[in-house]
Chains A and B, each alone.
Chain A
């Protein structure tokens, strides 16, 4: 099976959740900036519109991330409908919304990184968002 974590960019919460899934980062109550900055593909200033391969989990599932900046539910339905159209089973791909744990810091940081030149500030805000709201990711990862 292929599991795709999606967030507004495909480079932030989805990368984090995908790495949690793969065990590349451990489950803990608070994350530090170095936990995030060492993640491959984390950050970035553009939207990852095509699936990005992150790794294979212990059950042999391929783990990907993708950026869906708007109309998330429509994109989910489109992918499902597209798989049916091409004779595949919609359950071949499992889509997981990684933005369920997003917060104002992360959202503001992503907005700044995409639409302004304040890339450094944007990165700091995103990291602050992850540091302050780690428990949500912890709960989601467990579920």
Chain B
């Protein structure tokens, strides 16, 4: 299976969810800001990375876990890609798209905008780290839903 966690910039919420899925971050306790910064791609992606699926790793079941920043396309992207798959005879039963934006809070939005869009990393990064720690349980819940869906 290929599981794609996607969000606006592919830098924070999708990366956090993918890290939880892969076990890079423990699901039973909130991470420290330092632990978040150790996660690959966290607060690193720039505009030119948007629209690209990036492999984060393989989970214990051998599923490939990807992250992607697809700006505001979200579910529109999923619908269009399913359509593209249909016309090119690509099977889609081994792909799951997961929108992680629903777990994002205001601090993550503000911090992410400052750090990634305005490149004010010194200002935005502490805010987005704080926001990610606060919203961490939302991402744990999203990952749990994905894992339950895969088991059924």
A81 with B87: CB separation less than 8 A: no
Given contacts A68-B80, A70-B72, contact A77 B51 (CB under 8 A): yes
Bound CA span A73–B72, Å? 12
The 5 closest A-B pairs by CB, nearest first: A77-B51, A50-B83, A74-B51, A49-B79, A78-B51
When distances are taken between beta carbons in the complex, the residues of chain B under 8 Å from A82 are 53, 81, 84-85
Against B, the Cβ 8 Å flags (1 = close, 0 = not) of A73-86 are 11111110111111
Number of interface residues of A (CB under 8 A): 28
Q: A78-B73, A85-B2 are in contact. List 19 more A-B contacts (CB 8 A).
A: A50-B80, A50-B82, A50-B83, A51-B80, A66-B80, A66-B83, A70-B72, A71-B72, A71-B73, A74-B71, A76-B51, A77-B51, A78-B52, A79-B84, A81-B52, A81-B53, A83-B90, A84-B53, A93-B84
Q: What is the CB-to-nearest-CB distance from A95 to chain B, in angstroms, rounded to a whole number? A: 10
The answer, yes or no, to whether A53 is at the interface (CB within 8 Å) is: yes
When distances are taken between beta carbons in the complex, the residues of chain B under 8 Å from A64 are 87
Q: What is the CB-to-nearest-CB distance from A90 to chain B, in angstroms, rounded to a whole number? A: 11
List residues of chain B with CB under 8 Å of any chain A CB. 2, 50-53, 66, 68, 70-73, 76-77, 79-88, 90, 95
Question: Which residues, 1 to 19 on A, are CB-close (under 8 Å) to B?
Answer: 2
Bound CA span A66–B76, Å? 12
When distances are taken between beta carbons in the complex, the residues of chain B under 8 Å from A70 are 72-73
The main secondary structure of chain B at its interface with chain A is mixed
B53 with A79: CB separation less than 8 A: no
When distances are taken between beta carbons in the complex, the residues of chain B under 8 Å from A97 are none
Interface centre among A49, A82, A84 (most CB of B within 10 A): A82
Bound CA span A92–B87, Å? 11
Pick the contact of B73: A50, A66, A74, A84 (CB < 8 A).
A74
Bound CA span A72–B129, Å? 30
